[in-house]
């Protein structure tokens, strides 16, 4: 794409009320726009990143047998009253008057909705196990909205729900999802630790959070730097000394981190409240055993920026970058422009995603913008490069001058 | 995919409060689930159709230079007060109390939001024209919700917004979008007429609706069956006799139809209200000239069902069908099952999307379900077909017995 045609532009300033690194950089680079506190639009460049993260999640959920569907934000009061969550979650659930009937709520999670739908289709042991997921917009009346896109009042969540005949079958699938989650975060360029957390009201077992260590985080974990074993601070304090890492290391460390995902055994809480029963092999009715598993692609995107940046801007991991290559022509001579346009066409035809800075801006502006936007590779064509090309990885300090054929080899596999 | 693993099942009955054909068939086939009046979840099979329609729209919007982004459902009161629409659209806008500040609204359209964002980036004639679009969930406090997924209170809208220096440039792009819309509907298997409608408060020119003739519709048009020239009934009555079709035909017909899209010149209404000005070549400030263009993929899906069905079920056009082929094994002998599994693997490896009915159900149930679900092609393997395969198009009454190699040729290009 030609940068002169792009809807967004970079900006040097950013509103003083943005305090987080992710909001500052993403706003300056023209990736997001703040509609109000904790509510952000994703502009074309930002939405490219967002969709790549969604697609990575989708692929890994499909591999483990998840079927994609989409449920609704608007929710009826009576459904949530049946599980007791219409009142208990008063503080975070948005509610609207409806001219057609009782007050409606905006979903911040979908255990109620998915359980009610599953009642249409699950009635026998033959109908189990099942797993369904969605990438759907949720709402949360969130008072603390100071962390850019890490904590927002409107956000897409990938929520997967699984249904099982018994706990043993759930336990097996739970481990499969855990591994799928680690693949998702790895593909997104994040090192996530699997952290033991409280199971809450539903189960005596641990739930698990996926935490990425960064100063931007609001969570604290205790972990072993040798084997990676980790607990969140609450669990660590409650169980002090009880559960040492398997590696035998005794010197645990504490760190701030961002929770990028969680997996949670629900047991029979929702199936009993909403009467999702199945008939087992012996003809006996049994409540379905459930679990839910969440990842917020927006929070993943914000965490990537928090972890992968320097003083000059963002450094996108290749798998989620809006474009693989930022191509800059420095100088307006017809030779330079011609050489650049020709390279742009060649790379684009090979399927390489290229952002071509064709603007009539100074070299300084173009180089600064390239650093801010953070594409993995920068290619410069100028008088100085003669018939060669200056190639530089965004993450590296040094550039190299390479020939046309070397460049084509470099980007031969896409 | 194996049908025994599918989350949804077909059902013979459907709730008596579903009166529309689309809601009845899509519910029975397990494509959608009603959360409440006018609010539907899309189940895995239904969401496959929905995503294919979205992808067709996305491709055609990308071709005409639209950049995809996504704006927010939550909207601040002050932004809509600036255009006077906080109060005037009282009846259709959901509003929520927000613990952090003033009441927030749920967007049912995004002219305000996109104009406010454009102010960040458009300030000179060099920044024009631009066009951006989104596939985003909107909310509408809709009293009449009796038409299944044709008219809902929560729905995805593809809304494109374009920004121009003057009306001549807008007029040119408006025609380009019109042609792109016709391509979208054609690819989705719909014959849409371009219908002149009132320009409303914003312009003296016509806006245009894309209408598909069906008894399920709530709109009325007057059209010429020879040349396709059409006006909606209001315009036709107001302008009676003034604007005859170019073909000279005088006998116009009236028909009920569903509006699957609309395109609308906004002029400078929003740019003046929200102060989106640009500096022209002469250095003069001018308001940006805008237009908006909508398609609801859910309404498109409902219209497809209304138009393409028979007494036995849905007849999906190939481009939007959840699977290209419904493969049925009738009989449980190891020969038949083996032959079917082997064909399933072969077709799947070729990239053909196959739903394989591997359930232990009677032939009658399997054949009935195949008709209800409506995949374009049905392949049956049974004792009767011997080493051949019975191939039948869902839209056709007759089946043919063909050999393995003929079948492979048939599905060679995907």
Residue, of B314 and A206, whose pLDDT is higher = B314
Measured distance CA(B136)–CA(B70) in Å, rounded = 7
Sign of CA dihedral A141, A145, A147, A149: positive
Measured distance CA(A292)–CA(A71) in Å, rounded = 15
* Ramachandran assignment for B168, one of left (phi > 0), alpha (psi -120 to 50 degrees), beta (any other): alpha
The CA-atom distances, in angstroms, between B127 and each of A277, A354, B116, B162 are: 60, 21, 15, 12
Is the predicted pLDDT of residue A414 greater than 60, yes or no? no
- Give the pLDDT confidence of A374-390 residue by residue, as tens digits: 999 999 999 999 889 99
**Which of A8, A37, A120 is facing B100, going by the closest CB pair?**
A37
Is the predicted pLDDT of residue A20 greater than 90, yes or no? yes
User: How far does the CA of residue B143 sit from the closest CA of chain A (Å)?
Assistant: 6
User: How far does the CA of residue A285 sit from the closest CA of chain B (Å)?
Assistant: 20
Mean predicted confidence (pLDDT) in A275-289: 98
Residue A234: pLDDT band by 50, 70, 90 thresholds? confident
Measured distance CA(A80)–CA(A87) in Å, rounded = 8
User: Could B33 and A95 be called an inter-chain contact, meaning their C-beta atoms sit closer than 8 Å?
Assistant: no
Q: Which residues of B315-326 are buried (b: 16+ CB within 10 A; e: fewer)?
A: bbbeebbbbbbb
The B residues from 3 to 62 touching A (CB cutoff 8 Å) are 5-9, 11, 30, 33, 35-44, 46-47, 50-51
Chain B interface disruption, residue of A12, A18, A72, A123, most B CBs within 10 A: A72
User: How far does the CA of residue A130 sit from the closest CA of chain B (Å)?
Assistant: 7
Is the predicted pLDDT of residue A236 greater than 90, yes or no? no
**Which of B44, B72, B98 is facing A69, going by the closest CB pair?**
B44
And the tokens for B324?
């290209």
Measured distance CA(A303)–CA(B286) in Å, rounded = 41
Lowest mean pLDDT among A207-221, B93-107, B182-196: B93-107
ipTM score: 0.96
Q: How many CB pairs under 8 A join A and B?
A: 148
In three-state secondary structure terms, B228 is coil
Write down the domain spans for chain A: 3-72+107-310, 323-410
Mean predicted confidence (pLDDT) in A327-354: 95
Mean predicted confidence (pLDDT) in B111-125: 98
Q: What are phi and psi of B353, to 5 degrees?
A: -80, 115
Residue B251: pLDDT band by 50, 70, 90 thresholds? confident
Among residues B280, B260, B289, B322, which one has the least CA distance to residue B30? B322
**What pLDDT is recorded for position B195?**
95
* Helix orientation angle between B44-63 and B167-187, rounded to the nearest 10 degrees: 140
In three-state secondary structure terms, A27 is helix
**What pLDDT is recorded for position A335?**
93
**What pLDDT is recorded for position B326?**
98
Mean predicted confidence (pLDDT) in A272-287: 98
User: How far does the CA of residue A278 sit from the closest CA of chain B (Å)?
Assistant: 15
Q: Are A274 and A161 in contact (CB under 8 A)?
A: no
User: How far does the CA of residue B30 sit from the closest CA of chain A (Å)?
Assistant: 9
Sequence-ordered list of residues with C-beta below 8 angstroms from that of B302, at least 6 positions apart, any chain: B20, B22, B23, B26, B147, B148, B149, B150, B216, B258
Residue B14: pLDDT band by 50, 70, 90 thresholds? confident
Which residue's entry shows tokens 């995004």? B110
**What pLDDT is recorded for position B364?**
97
User: Could B141 and A70 be called an inter-chain contact, meaning their C-beta atoms sit closer than 8 Å?
Assistant: no
Q: Are A290 and A267 in contact (CB under 8 A)?
A: yes
Measured distance CA(A407)–CA(A379) in Å, rounded = 9
> Do B3-72+107-310 and B323-410 agree at the fold level?
no
Among residues B54, B9, B43, which one has the least CA distance to residue B368? B9
Q: pTM score > 0.95 for this model?
A: yes
In three-state secondary structure terms, B163 is strand
The fraction of chain A above a pLDDT of 90, given in percent, is 83
Query: Class of A3-72+107-310 per CATH?
Result: alpha beta
Is A345 within 8 Å of chain B by CB?
Answer: no
**Which of B41, B67, B69 is facing A41, going by the closest CB pair?**
B69
User: How far does the CA of residue A126 sit from the closest CA of chain B (Å)?
Assistant: 9
Is the predicted pLDDT of residue B395 greater than 90, yes or no? yes
For the purposes of burial, counting CB atoms within 10 Å of the CB of B120, is it exposed (0-12), middle (13-18) or buried (19 or more)? Answer: middle
Measured distance CA(A394)–CA(A269) in Å, rounded = 49
Mean predicted confidence (pLDDT) in A144-166: 94
In the beta sheet, which residues pair with residue B130? B163
**What pLDDT is recorded for position B119?**
98
The B residues from 132 to 171 touching A (CB cutoff 8 Å) are 132, 137, 139, 141, 143, 145, 153-154
User: Could B7 and A91 be called an inter-chain contact, meaning their C-beta atoms sit closer than 8 Å?
Assistant: no
**What pLDDT is recorded for position B228?**
86
Residue, of A236 and A413, whose pLDDT is higher = A236
**Which of A73, A99, A113 is facing B154, going by the closest CB pair?**
A73
**What pLDDT is recorded for position A102?**
83
- Give the pLDDT confidence of B26-48 residue by residue, as tens digits: 999 999 999 999 999 999 999 99
Provide the total of helices (H) and of strands (E) in chain A, helices listed first: 12, 23
Among residues B368, B340, B367, which one has the least CA distance to residue B354? B340
**Which of A47, A73, A132 is facing B70, going by the closest CB pair?**
A47
Q: Are A171 and A157 in contact (CB under 8 A)?
A: no
User: How far does the CA of residue A30 sit from the closest CA of chain B (Å)?
Assistant: 9
**What pLDDT is recorded for position A247?**
79
Residue B85: pLDDT band by 50, 70, 90 thresholds? very high
Chain B residues within an 8 Å CB radius of A143: 99-100
The CA-atom distances, in angstroms, between A235 and each of A192, A194, A195, A199, B398 are: 18, 13, 10, 10, 66
Mean predicted confidence (pLDDT) in B55-73: 98
Query: Which chain A residue lies closest to B9 (C-alpha atoms)?
Result: A121
Sign of CA dihedral A83, A84, A86, A90: negative
Q: What is the DSSP letter of A288?
A: P
**What pLDDT is recorded for position A318?**
97
Sign of CA dihedral A358, A362, A365, A366: positive
**What pLDDT is recorded for position B236?**
84
* Helix orientation angle between B44-63 and B297-307, rounded to the nearest 10 degrees: 110
Is B224 within 8 Å of chain A by CB?
Answer: no
Radius of gyration of chain B (CA): 25
Which residue's entry shows tokens 């009142």? A87
Which residue's entry shows tokens 């055993």? A289
Among residues B410, B137, B401, which one has the least CA distance to residue A71? B137
**What pLDDT is recorded for position A243?**
59
For the purposes of burial, counting CB atoms within 10 Å of the CB of A282, is it exposed (0-12), middle (13-18) or buried (19 or more)? Answer: exposed
**What pLDDT is recorded for position B15?**
81
And the tokens for B412?
């060679």
Query: How confident is the prediction for chain A on average, in pLDDT?
Result: 94
Lowest mean pLDDT among A83-97, A100-114, B18-32, B205-219: A83-97
**What pLDDT is recorded for position A248?**
73
Chain A residues within an 8 Å CB radius of B6: 67
Chain A residues within an 8 Å CB radius of B158: none
Is the predicted pLDDT of residue B242 greater than 70, yes or no? no
Question: Which 3-state string (H, E, C) describes B110-160?
Answer: CHHHHHHHHHHHCCEHHHCCEEEEEEEEEECCCCCCCCHHHCCCEEEEEEE
* Helix orientation angle between B297-307 and B21-28, rounded to the nearest 10 degrees: 90
Chain A interface disruption, residue of B18, B34, B43, most A CBs within 10 A: B43
Query: Which chain A residue lies closest to B76 (C-alpha atoms)?
Result: A36
Query: How confident is the prediction for chain B on average, in pLDDT?
Result: 94
CATH code of the region A323-410 = 3.40.50.800
Is the predicted pLDDT of residue A262 greater than 90, yes or no? yes
Mean predicted confidence (pLDDT) in A179-207: 89
Lowest mean pLDDT among A301-305, A345-349, B215-219: B215-219
Mean predicted confidence (pLDDT) in A243-266: 87
Q: Is the peptide bond before A129 cis (omega within 30 degrees of 0)?
A: yes
Radius of gyration of chain A (CA): 25
DSSP state letters, B264-302:
EEEETHHHHHTT-EEE-TTS-EEEPEEEEEEE-HHHHHH
Q: Are B366 and B358 in contact (CB under 8 A)?
A: no
Q: Are A384 and A373 in contact (CB under 8 A)?
A: no
**What pLDDT is recorded for position A89?**
73
Among residues B24, B88, B362, B308, which one has the least CA distance to residue B191? B308
**What pLDDT is recorded for position B241?**
58
Lowest mean pLDDT among A55-59, A197-201, A278-282, A324-328: A197-201
Q: Are A120 and B14 in contact (CB under 8 A)?
A: no
Residue A12: pLDDT band by 50, 70, 90 thresholds? confident
**Which of B7, B69, B91 is facing A47, going by the closest CB pair?**
B69
Q: What is the DSSP letter of A296?
A: -
DSSP state letters, B348-365:
HHTT--EEEE-S---HHH
Sequence-ordered list of residues with C-beta below 8 angstroms from that of B229, at least 6 positions apart, any chain: B223, B245, B246, B247
Measured distance CA(A309)–CA(A21) in Å, rounded = 9
Residue, of B204 and B31, whose pLDDT is higher = B31
User: Could A73 and B36 be called an inter-chain contact, meaning their C-beta atoms sit closer than 8 Å?
Assistant: no
User: How far does the CA of residue B10 sit from the closest CA of chain A (Å)?
Assistant: 9
Measured distance CA(B270)–CA(A171) in Å, rounded = 55
Is the predicted pLDDT of residue B414 greater than 60, yes or no? no
User: How far does the CA of residue A226 sit from the closest CA of chain B (Å)?
Assistant: 42
Residue A203: pLDDT band by 50, 70, 90 thresholds? low
Sequence-ordered list of residues with C-beta below 8 angstroms from that of B405, at least 6 positions apart, any chain: none
User: Could B96 and A106 be called an inter-chain contact, meaning their C-beta atoms sit closer than 8 Å?
Assistant: yes
Residue B201: pLDDT band by 50, 70, 90 thresholds? low
């Amino acid at each position: 794409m030609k940068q002169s045609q792009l809807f967004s532009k970079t900006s040097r300033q950013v509103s003083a009320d943005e305090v987080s690194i992710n909001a500052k950089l993403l706003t300056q680079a023209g990736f997001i726009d703040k509609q109000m506190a904790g509510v952000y639009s994703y502009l074309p460049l930002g939405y490219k990143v967002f969709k790549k993260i969604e697609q990575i999640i989708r692929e890994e959920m499909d591999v483990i047998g998840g079927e994609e569907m989409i449920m609704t934000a608007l929710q009826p009061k009576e459904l949530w009253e049946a599980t007791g969550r219409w009142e208990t979650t008063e503080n975070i659930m948005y509610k609207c008057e409806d001219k057609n009937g009782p007050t409606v709520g905006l979903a911040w999670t979908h255990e109620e909705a998915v359980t009610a739908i599953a009642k249409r289709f699950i009635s026998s042991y033959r109908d189990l196990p099942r797993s369904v997921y969605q990438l759907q917009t949720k709402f949360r009346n969130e008072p603390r909205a100071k962390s850019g896109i890490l904590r927002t009042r409107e956000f897409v969540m990938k929520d997967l729900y699984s249904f099982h005949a018994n706990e043993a079958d759930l336990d097996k699938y739970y481990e499969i999802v855990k591994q799928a989650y680690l693949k998702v975060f790895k593909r997104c360029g994040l090192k996530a630790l699997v952290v033991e957390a409280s199971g809450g009201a539903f189960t005596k077992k641990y739930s698990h959070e996926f935490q990425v260590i960064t100063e931007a985080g609001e969570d604290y974990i205790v972990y072993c730097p040798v084997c990676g074993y980790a607990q969140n601070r609450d669990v660590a304090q409650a169980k002090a000394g009880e559960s040492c890492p398997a590696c035998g290391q005794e010197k645990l460390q504490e760190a701030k981190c961002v929770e990028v995902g969680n997996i949670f055994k629900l047991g029979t809480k929702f199936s009993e409240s909403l009467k999702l029963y199945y008939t087992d092999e012996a003809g006996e009715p049994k409540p379905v055993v459930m679990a839910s598993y969440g990842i917020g692609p927006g929070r993943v995107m914000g965490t990537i920026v928090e972890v992968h940046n320097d003083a000059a801007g963002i450094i996108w991991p290749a798998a989620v970058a809006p474009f693989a290559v930022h191509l800059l022509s420095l100088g307006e001579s017809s030779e330079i422009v011609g050489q650049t346009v020709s390279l742009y066409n060649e790379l684009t035809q090979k399927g390489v995603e290229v952002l071509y800075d064709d603007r009539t801006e100074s070299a300084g502006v173009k180089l600064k913008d390239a650093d801010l936007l953070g594409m993995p590779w920068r290619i410069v064509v100028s008088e100085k490069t003669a018939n060669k090309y200056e190639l530089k990885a965004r993450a590296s300090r040094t550039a190299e001058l390479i020939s046309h054929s070397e460049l084509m080899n470099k980007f031969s596999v896409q």
